[in-house]
Amino acid sequence: MAKVLIVDDEEDIAELISDVLIDEGMTTVLKKNGKEALEIALKESFDLIILDIMMPEMSGTQVCKQIRDKVECPIIFVTAKNQLLDKIVGFEIGADDYITKPFTIEELVARVKAHIRRESRVHNQEKNTITIGEITIHKDSFEVFKNGEAIDLSTREFELLSYLMSNAGIALSKEQIFDSVWGSNYGEIGTVAVHIKSIRKKLDPEEKYIKTIWGLGYKFIKVVE
């Protein structure tokens, strides 16, 4: 469920936007000035921020400037300032969209949903991609690259590498690896070492990344110098 921060000193507009977004299945937090918006935006996590520009105590542009480097979610300006220069300034300080008043609620909702969908896709892609040093894996496409060059791994080798990289920095026993990658009712635990050897040959011949933890198992190095 998406969480949206709505900041507008015109309470009737803020409440209208809130009601419509709640009907769309989102949760909302309302603030009526820039100072309150700044405090909560730095304290809580939001999926999107709707921000008026002309507000008491602190303008929306000031809020955007102060939070943009700390807040990753999309920021939409909803404002009566409709000059081209105002829009250019808004985008330059980090806004993702700019809607001028008066606006149709349908357009606002459509833009909010579009930005949230886009962020969701980006986050899913980031979650499915792991890069450590020279090695990158894409879990969704079962692809592995070293220094940008595709490396051909078998399905089981990929699953093993994915498990190690997802748990980078953690010493994993052979039993943990076997149960997680093969399942306890399939094969023998010795197959872990066989597959590790194969992955090293293809991807890590100098053993910079996959370290043997004697008497335990293996660890994928989280930071490679």
CATH number at residue 46: 3.40.50.2300
Domain count, the chain: 2
* CATH code for the domain of 181: 1.10.10.10
Q: Does 13 reside within a domain?
A: yes
C-alpha to C-alpha distances, 188 to 69, 106, 177, 184, 213, nearest whole angstrom: 50, 59, 12, 9, 19
When mean pLDDT is compared across 81-85, 100-104, 177-181, 188-192, the lowest value belongs to 81-85
Q: Does 133 reside within a domain?
A: yes
pTM for the structure as a whole: 0.58
Residue 140 sits in which domain range? 129-220
Rounded CA separation 180/189 (Å): 11
**Two tokens, residue 162:** 């994915």
Report cis status (omega within 30 of 0) of the bond before 102. yes
What percent of the chain lies above the pLDDT cut of 70?
Answer: 95
User: Does 66 have pLDDT greater than 80?
Assistant: yes
Which one is predicted more confidently, 158 or 187?
158
Position 128 scores a pLDDT of: 81
**Two tokens, residue 214:** 């004697």
C-alpha to C-alpha distances, 4 to 168, 169, 170, nearest whole angstrom: 34, 35, 36
Q: Does 27 reside within a domain?
A: yes
User: Does 114 have pLDDT greater than 80?
Assistant: yes
Is the same domain home to 90 and 154? no
Confidence class for position 120, pLDDT limits 50, 70, 90: confident
Domain end among 127, 161, 191: 127
Position 186 scores a pLDDT of: 65
Is the same domain home to 100 and 141? no
Question: Mean per-residue pLDDT for 152-174?
Answer: 93
Farthest CA pair distance, the chain: 70
Position 125 scores a pLDDT of: 62
User: Does 123 have pLDDT greater than 90?
Assistant: no
Q: Does 195 reside within a domain?
A: yes
Is the same domain home to 156 and 169? yes
Q: Does 18 reside within a domain?
A: yes
Q: Does 160 reside within a domain?
A: yes
Question: Mean per-residue pLDDT for 7-36?
Answer: 93
Domain end among 127, 162, 196: 127
Q: Does 225 reside within a domain?
A: no
Is the same domain home to 113 and 170? no
Question: Mean per-residue pLDDT for 53-63?
Answer: 89
Position 72 scores a pLDDT of: 85
Q: What angle do CA 219, 222, 225 make, to 5 degrees?
A: 115
Q: Does 138 reside within a domain?
A: yes
